[in-house]
Structure 1
């Protein structure tokens, strides 16, 4: 009787996904390995546009109102990996200035792992609360995470990081001429 059993993950014996190995196999798809993280970071660095092109001040100007949507649509995907690298570098500074932020992020990740990966769809008891749906689990994790971030001061670091990268990325994407736009000005000489 295989009715509703999840058969997308094999337990290694050619049968359907078992209760222990199947759940761990499913969970292992979502937990990054050190090698996977290294590949992701190196991939971001290799896919980034050259920094000379990214910071070329000759390509910056104030756009007309009609140019704004086109610039944003073209520049954000084109320089997305540069923005990710800026986010990662600034994240290191946040962790160095607020080391408890790293601890609080790790605790939230562990809470997520406990509530959603280990428990799956099973109810979880947290103190007097019985969390029997994913919505309740998510609400407790969100409220607990926000309180933890607030108590450790990590919320200010995280919000300033998001705000800084968002502002820098938005201004850059808005003011930088798209790479596809022909540059007629650089060939002109003043005389």
Structure 2
């Protein structure tokens, strides 16, 4: 099977995600001030800064190890998003092997997203990060089932996550802090969903090997 991710490519993916979090810090903070307590941008940036540092100080030897470092970093920051992102990356980090295929990644991603849904009791339409996670996961699973190349699979996941995040603007929140502000959250994109879309966009297909 064609390799999707190498350890070097996966590290580059996390590095680009961290760069995007730095670039979008203000916009994510502003979004969260409208629907939450305004700390999401800070938590995401802090978690990714820590993940990058962990990757440098203790380099992993597998793609799964890269995601595991990210998991540990987010679990340490606390808050609402920390445990959810920590769980998500931790389950993705269970992907086996040195060379990860589309099928491997799709399976790990499905397990990860299901775990987040279970922990947060969230479904698509609740205006949470799940609204980007689930479409991206479904796109990856579909790509794997059709034998798509890694680049096609990542493009499909990135597009689905972006569309999913954008769809939250018209939603009335049913989970998370945004649910406390009612109609005031309508018209605002969920910052968690935006971050998941950023993660998949950061793949840029340069993580693909072969």
Same fold (TM over 0.5): no
* Larger Rg belongs to: 1
Higher helix share: 2
TM-score, structure 1 as length reference: 0.34
Please report the TM-score for the alignment, with normalisation by the length of structure 2: 0.31
